[in-house]
Amino acid sequence: MTKQTVAQGSGLLLLLAVAAVFPLVFTNPTATNFAVVTLVFVAVASAWNIFSGFSGYLSLGHAVFYGTGAYFLTVAANDWKLSAGAIFWLVPLAGLAAAVIAVPLGLVALRVRRHTFVVITIAFFFIAQLSASNLSVTGGSSGMLVPQPNWAGATFNNPFYYVALVIAVATIVLAWLVRRSRFGLQLRAIRDDEDRAAGLGVRAMPVKLAALVLSAFITGMAGAVWVYFTGEAVPQFVFDPLFDLAIVLMAFFGGLGTVAGPVLGALVLQPAQLWLNLEETNSYSSEILFGALFLVVILFLPRGVLPTGAEYLSKAQAWIRRRRAAPGETAREPAAGADDAITPTSAPGGAA
Amino acid sequence: MGTEIAHAIADGILGGGVYALMAAGLTLVFGVLDIINVAQGILVVLGAYLSYVLSVHLHIDLLVGLLITVPAMFVIGVGIYWLFIRTLRGAERTSMTLLACFAVALIIEGVLYREFGSNYVSLNAWYVNQSVHIFGFYLADIYLIGFGLAVAAVVVLYLILYRTTFGRAVRATMQNQTAARLIGIDVNRVAALTFGIGVAVTAIGGMVYGSITSFTPNSGYDLISRLLAIVILAGMGSIGGALAAAVFMTTIEALVDIWQPDWSIVVFYLAMVIVLTFRPQGLFGRHAVRAQ
Amino acid sequence: MRSHPHRARYLALGTTALLAAALIAGCSSGGGSKPSSSGPIIIGTSLSLTGDFSTDGIAFEKGYELWVHDINAHGGIMGRKVQLDILNDNSSQTQVVTNYTDLINVKHVDLTFGPFSSLLTAPAAEVAHRYNFAFIEGAGGSPLVFGEKLPDVFDVALPVANELDPFVNWIKSLPASQRPTTAAYPMANDPFATPQVQLAQSELQPLGIKTLYSKIFPEEEPDYLPNADIVAGKKPQAVILGSVDVPTVAAFMKGFEEQHYNPKVFVAAAGPDQGSAFESAVGGPGNANGMMVPDAWYPGYPSATSQAMVNEYVAKYGGTASGVNADVAEAYSVGEVTAQAVEATHSLSGPKLIAYLHSGVTLTSVEGPVSFNSIGENVKAIAFIFQWQNGKFVQVLPTTATGSVPILYPKTNWSS
């Protein structure tokens, strides 16, 4: 146990403690409302990253998993007539439903690469949205209501908060474990150069599919929590094209392929979006702002805020160390830090 | 029933032409620069709005107005490439160009909202509601014009690519950027001009689109999804292939409309998915499986 | 293992988490003052000023604002001025829940008005219910909203499914030789459009009117032409179109014109009621002539308050009387009903207002009488059918209602 590990460990524990008492300190339902929605997106962004960030396959169809989870909970809650608290037990089942859906979708989509993959995920998105509008089991275009609990208004949001918190924390831990594991290494090898990885013995399809299924499981759970929280499942809201783009932006903003990146992205962007709508009732300036922010991130922080920020921080520390070292004596600095995210050096599949 | 099917097929073919016209720019940019320009949807809408402004405020006929909107969009296209896309390279290039184009789309959409609000508008001209009597039913003039323009666009683009020096430079860049640079081609300039041409053709697509249906700044999203499906189904870079793929998809859709219109769009996307499952490189894609 | 970038990363993450928490906490504690009993009455609402529902959202905003302006000119409610606090929900389900939570818990509004669209009203009404607010709205009339069976929901507008009743009754009243013999029922896949057309079909078929076409098409169709062509090819004498907006109707009309097909009677669920937006989209009064649409209100409605409202709208926002969107009247009615309830109970308390509104009392509005049943439907709402005649939007059905003019039947041919 080095000093640094202890420091990091206690820092994380502190963060967890703060999160645990958040609703007890900030009791206003608006605060917990923001928190629930933000935590849901932290989970989704991290889950998306476990698949797309690590494997390099950009998915714009994750709303399919979100929606599957949401509709599963809605239909089951209506059919099985559960009590308000018991409905939360449907959440993991909803995740399972999404995971099951991910298998056939993955077997079809993961056979193609890059742009084709992206467009197939878009196609799946539309097929899902339109099917939900047409089928009577999902309530058709009118949608369905989710039975709402009768809890008091002042603390209504709190159970949702804790469920969302558990899911978000579990997702972050999962992402961290995947990253450190051999599985994660195989994923990153696929991202760097899939054919070379296959040549080295990585069985690409099972690995990719496993990542997709895991990602879908979490995303489905998040969708279930969200739909229970807001109370209705309507095709055009459950399957929202901007949902996928928002997650991608969050993951990108924070740092694609890192563990903390999507979390940072969600923590910053989701409350910001809710807040911006509360403050800026005038129209489309928020959209232009979003687009501009996007461009700034892409052009100047191409690896995301965190990796770039971390780089600057490391460079600053190294500079300070050099200044502190006496002239003539080279500072004892650790080897210059490329972060341990293996930076891909070639585009998968060929020349840039 | 027979006339009905024939009519649906005719509608499908003509509709496919219109979509191919809107997708031509997307195909060109995809094939040459390996960029999926997800702003294509909103660029079509932008072209429609430009024609709208010329038609409503300056009373310039839609087809004549193309003489203005096409060069204008060309400049816009070159600008977008030069400012936002040129510098993107490296491993994450696919995702980054995708997101950069999306960011540009957001900005254009926001600007259009500010200028025009969210009311539906459409383009009008004397030929927009007329039709021709063929085979016992009527075919709308504007669709015939659109189809004709689509074919013309395909031909012109082919001529540019295969009969001009510039076109040769473009094809060289497409095949191998490094080698192209080595023989002295200014790859950036070629790329910028190609992007510009792609967007310029979109101006024509926008005009036809706006004459067929009402639009608002929000219309870009549904458009881009269909255009992407067509381009990917066609396969990388095949412009004539995009016309074929578009006709294929819209004809199936129009046929489904006869019996189950609520599933027609699902069938549209499902058709694409099925084809790609068996032929990942698309109907007319060139590359074999490795780099797809 | 490189620990320095790790440390930097976790440090950054920790800081951000704390910042996010602070932001969340901060914006949820600022804002409104505690409710007092002598300052202005604050009414909170969330409207779709951007996004899919923005056209209607903005019309609602104008209606609410017009009402506030009027009520204040007459001394306010209970002698207190009224203030409106409007938040934008961007046509988003998540945002509308956040907005009403914020309005009630941070801005401490006294009353709430509903948002636009049943799809947003349903989740919003749950939030209001949680905090015992009366939720008076004018745009949530689909079974989704009433399915919640919430006591606090009050929809001043006409329930959706019965909108075409006057049309059906009129057809029934015609001698058999004059009735259309065939009909087509194309419907957009939308909870607003489908129920009323399906109901109309079930009533017209037994009269011997043959159904040549009855299908549901996707709501957001990129191109309606193939569907319009198919309907035109069958040449039905009557077309009852389940549309939700102007583009759908305009596309069908355009398709019919191109196919040189003109039905004897053409009624659309929505679109022709959008005033000048409709007229310009279809190419002018010539083409609009004869198009019919159901609605609970129109600019020419012969009631003093309605006329006054229309004149004020035109004075404030320009345009002509026929260009006034029915949404404006719906929003205005929400305000009127609220004011009457508050004045009658002499209180702003949610439970008292709810009890009063459920007592069977009949209130007035620019849209006519308002009286709620146990789940909040307005059972006294009147349905009218309107028709475009020579560039004017006039009331034609029920034929016996005050203000109805003779109906134009059969429909004149296209003339753009």
The pLDDT score that the predictor gives to residue B35 is 86
Q: Which of C62, C197, C216, C221 to mutate to test the interface with B (most CBs of B within 10 A)?
A: C221
By the 8 A CB rule, do A135 and C134 touch?
no
Q: What is the CATH number of the domain that holds C387?
A: 3.40.50.2300
Q: Do the chains contact at C13 and A142, CB–CB below 8 Å?
A: no
Give the distance from residue B102's alpha carbon to the nearest chain A alpha carbon, in angstroms.
8
CB contact under 8 A, A116 and B95: no
Predicted pLDDT of residue C336: 94
Q: How many CB atoms lie within 10 A of CB B282?
A: 25
Q: Domain range spanning residue B155?
A: 2-278
Report the complex ipTM.
Answer: 0.87
DSSP state of A179: H
C285 and C171 inside one domain: yes
Strands lying side by side in the sheet with C135-137 = C82-88, C41-47, C111-113, C135-137, C153-155
| C-alpha atoms less than 13 angstroms from C-alpha of C91 in its C-beta half-sphere | 18
In 3D space, the residue among C316, C219, B146 whose CA is nearest the CA of residue A141 turns out to be C219
Q: How far is A131 from chain B (nearest CA, A)?
A: 7
CA distance B98 to B100: 6
Please provide the DSSP assignment of C204-227 as one string: HGGGT-EEEEEEEE-SS-S--HHH
Question: Which residues does chain B have within 8 Å of residue A256's beta carbon, measured at their own beta carbons?
Answer: 92, 95
| CB B9 within 8 Å of CB B191 | no
Residue A276 CB coordination number (10 Å): 17
Residues C168 and C252 in one domain: yes
Contact C358, C370 (CB under 8 A): no
Are residues C119 and C174 both part of a single domain?
no
The answer on C202 and C145 residing in a single domain is no
| C309 and C329 Cβ atoms separated by less than 8 Å | yes
Whether the per-residue pLDDT at A338 is higher than 60: the answer is no
Cβ within 8 Å, pair C230-B213: no
Contacts of B76 (CB under 8 A, 6+ apart): B43, B46, B199
**∠ CA A73-A75-A77, rounded to 5°:** 60
Q: State what percent of residues in chain A have pLDDT above 70.
A: 87
Does residue B288 lie within any of the structural domains? no
Handedness of CA C186, C191, C196, C199 (dihedral sign): positive
pLDDT value of residue A286: 65
The answer to whether residue C194 sits within a structural domain is: yes
Where does the pLDDT of residue B290 fall: very low under 50, low under 70, confident under 90, or very high at 90 and above? Answer: very low
Q: Amino acid letter at A258? A: T
Residues C190 and C318 in one domain: no
Span A263-292, average pLDDT: 73
Q: What is the Cα–Cα distance from B242 to B229, expressed in whole angstroms? A: 10
Which pLDDT score is estimated for C275? 76
Among C46, C401, C185, B212, smallest CA distance to A278 is for: C46
Check pLDDT > 60 for residue A328: no
- Confirm or reject contact between A130 and chain B (CB < 8 A): yes
- Chain A hits for B114, CB-CB cut-off 8 Å, are 283-285, 288
Of residues C50, C230, C416, nearest to B258 (C-beta) = C230
Per-residue pLDDT at A241: 83
Q: How far is the C-alpha of B272 from the C-alpha of B280, rounded, in Å?
A: 10
Mean of the pLDDT values across residues A131-138?
91
Can you give the pLDDT at residue C281? 80
In a domain, B292, yes or no: no
Between B175-189, B197-211, C61-75, C238-252, the lowest mean confidence (pLDDT) is in B175-189
Which has the minimum average pLDDT: A258-262, B192-196, C252-256, C289-293?
Answer: A258-262
Higher pLDDT, A63 or C30: A63
Per-residue pLDDT tens for B79-93?
A: 999 988 887 777 677
Residue scoring higher pLDDT (C52 or B276):
B276
Residues C319 and C349 in one domain: yes
Q: Would residue C341 count as lying in a domain? A: yes
Rounded CA-CA distance C286/C110 in Å is: 49
Q: Which residues of C130-145 are buried (b: 16+ CB within 10 A; e: fewer)?
A: bbebbbbbbbbbbbbb
Side chain identity at residue B233, one-letter code: L
Whole-prediction pTM: 0.89
Sketch out chain A's domains with CATH numbers: 28-302 (1.10.3470)
**C155 and C104 together in one domain:** yes
| Residue where the block lists tokens 């600022």 | C30
pLDDT in tens, A163-208: 999 999 999 999 999 999 999 999 999 988 888 998 988 889 999 9
**Cβ contact C259–B131 (<8 Å):** yes
Helices C93-105, A260-279: inter-axial angle, 10-degree rounding: 60
CA distances from A316 to A8, A319, A322, C123 (A): 20, 5, 10, 49
Structure tokens at C214: 């009855």
pLDDT of A326 above 90: no
C221 & C119 share domain: no
Average pLDDT of the segment spanning A304-324: 78
How high is the pLDDT of residue A306?
A: 67
Asked if A26 is an interface residue toward chain B (Cβ–Cβ < 8 A), one would say no
Residue C412 lies in a domain: no
In a domain, B290, yes or no: no
What is the residue whose two structure tokens read 């783009």?
A245
Encode pLDDT of B134-169 as tens digits. 877 888 888 999 999 999 998 999 898 888 999 888
Q: Is residue B289 part of a domain?
A: no
Residue C281 lies in a domain: yes
Share of chain A above pLDDT 90, in %: 45
Residue B190 within a domain: yes
Rg for chain C, CA atoms, rounded: 24
Chain A residues 189-248 with a CB less than 8 Å from chain C: 226, 229-232, 234, 236-237
Q: Classify each residue of A281-293 as buried b or exposed e, where b means 16 or more C-beta atoms within 10 Å of its C-beta.
A: bebbebbbbbbeb
Q: What is the pLDDT of residues B106-117, one digit of tens each?
A: 889 888 988 888
- Assign 3-state DSSP to chain A and report helix, strand, coil percentages, each to 5: 75, 0, 25
Q: Tell me if A277 and C87 make a contact (CB, 8 A cut-off).
A: yes
In a domain, C315, yes or no: yes
Residue B254, domain member (yes or no): yes
The pLDDT, as a whole number, for residue B289 is: 36
Overall domain count for chain B:
1
Q: How far apart are CA C226 and CA B222, in angstroms?
A: 18
Rounded-to-integer distance, Cα B1 and Cα C143, Å = 38
Q: How far is C332 from C115, CA to CA, in rounded Å?
A: 13
Residue C291 confidence (pLDDT): 94
pLDDT tens digit sequence for B218-255 = 888 889 989 999 999 998 767 888 999 999 999 999 99
Q: Are residues C178 and C194 in the same domain?
A: yes
Asked if A141 lies within 8 A of C219 by C-beta distance, the reply is yes
User: What was the pLDDT predicted at A351?
Assistant: 35
Number of structural domains, chain C?
2
Cross-chain CB nearest to B91 (options A241, A291, A347): A347
A298, two tokens: 């892409």
> Of A256, A240, A225, nearest to A58 (Cα)?
A256
Tokens of A59: 């998915």
Structural domain includes residue B286: no
Domain holding C393, by residue range, is: 162-296+383-397
Q: Which residues of chain C register pLDDT less than 70? A: 1-13, 16, 19, 22-36, 416
Chain A within 8 Å of C13 (Cβ-Cβ)? yes
Counting as contact any 3 or more CB pairs under 8 A, the partners of B are: A, C
pLDDT class of A349 with cuts at 50, 70, 90: very low
> Which CATH number characterizes residue B241's domain?
1.10.3470
Picking from C226, C257, C259, the nearest residue to B8 by CB comes out as: C226
Cβ–Cβ gap C229/B261 under 8 Å: no
Euclidean distance between CA atoms B229 and C327, whole angstroms: 37
pLDDT for A284: 60
| Residue spans of alpha helices (H) in chain B | 2-33, 40-57, 62-80, 93-116, 141-163, 165-175, 177-182, 187-212, 220-234, 239-259, 264-278
Domain shared by C127 and C187, yes or no? no
| In a domain? residue C152 | yes
Sign of the C-alpha dihedral, residues B54, B65, B48, B191?
negative
Interface subset of A 251-290, CB within 8 angstroms of B:
252, 256, 283-285, 287-288, 290
Dist CA B64 CA B164 (whole Å): 27
Would you say residue C237 lies in a domain? yes
Confidence at A339, pLDDT banded by 50, 70, 90: very low
Lowest-confidence pick of A60-69, A319-328, C138-147, C382-391 = A319-328
Q: Both C20 and C83 in a single domain?
A: yes
Q: What is the pLDDT of residues C237-259, one digit of tens each?
A: 999 999 988 889 999 998 999 88
In this prediction, residue C23 carries a pLDDT of 66
Residue type at position C170: W
> How many angstroms separate the CA of residue A254 from the nearest CA in chain C?
10
The predicted pLDDT at position A334 comes to 45
Residue found under tokens 């890059």: A114
Q: Does residue C252 share a domain with residue C316? A: no
| Nearest CB to C227; choose among B130, B212, B261 | B261
Give the total residue count for chain B: 292
DSSP secondary structure, C320-385, as one string: -GGG--HHHHHHHHHHHHHHHHHHHHT---HHHHHHHHTTT--EEETTEEE-B-TTS-BTT---EE
Inspect the interface and report whether the beta carbons of C416 and B222 lie closer than 8 Å.
no
Specify if B287 maps to a domain.
Answer: no
**CA proximity to A253, closest of A235, A273, A233, A238:** A273
Query: Is C389 in contact with C412 (CB distance < 8 Å)?
Result: no
Residues in Cβ contact with A40 at an 8 Å cutoff, skipping those fewer than 6 apart? A164, A167, A168, A222, A225, A226, A229
Tell whether C413 is covered by a domain.
no
Residue A292: its chain B contacts at CB < 8 A?
103, 107
